[in-house]
């Protein structure tokens, strides 16, 4: 299967999961999960939310930020991967002046 994100429209999401600022993303969705190249813009965040049926894998491409997962804070920077496993909750915050660019893979595990 080939997924060409170059041919997909980018969408803007203000206040994702009651977060702050804005996020931009292209999204592939299926019943097995999602693949989401995305950017949390400077000053933005994805609000605290639970993953009741899936694992959420976030590979950081550029920028700086932090994830808060089950009450523990993790520093995000290029080359690191934050994973929120099924049954956990997390938030991702852009702490830098540039976009926090990441590739998010959501794997459904019902």
In a domain, residue 65? The reply is yes
Mean pLDDT of 3-18: 96
Q: 39: pLDDT confidence band, cut at 50, 70 and 90?
A: very high
Give the C-alpha separation, 28 to 19, whole Å.
22
Structure tokens at 47: 């609000």
Percentage of the chain with pLDDT > 90? 98
CATH of the domain at 38: 2.60.120.10
In a domain, residue 19? The reply is no
Q: What pLDDT is recorded for position 110?
A: 79
In a domain, residue 84? The reply is yes
Token pair 């991702």 is found at 92
Mean pLDDT of 35-64: 97
pLDDT of residue 97 exceeding 90: yes
Which pTM does this prediction carry?
0.94
Strand partners of residue 91: 68
Q: Identify the helix (H) or strand (E) that includes residue 59.
A: strand 54-62
Give the C-alpha separation, 6 to 98, whole Å.
22
Question: Residue 72 sits in which domain range?
Answer: 29-108
In the chain, the number of structural domains is: 1
In a domain, residue 22? The reply is no
């Amino acid at each position: 299967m080939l997924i060409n994100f170059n041919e997909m429209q980018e969408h803007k999401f203000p206040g994702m999961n009651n977060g702050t600022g804005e996020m931009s993303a292209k999204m592939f969705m299926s019943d097995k999960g999602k693949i989401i190249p995305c950017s949390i813009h400077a000053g933005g965040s994805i609000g605290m939310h639970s993953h009741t049926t899936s694992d959420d894998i976030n590979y950081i491409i550029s920028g700086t930020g932090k994830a808060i997962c089950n009450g523990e804070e993790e520093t995000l920077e290029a080359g690191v991967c934050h994973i929120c496993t099924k049954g956990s909750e997390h938030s991702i915050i852009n702490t830098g002046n540039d976009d926090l660019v990441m590739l998010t893979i959501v794997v459904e595990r019902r």
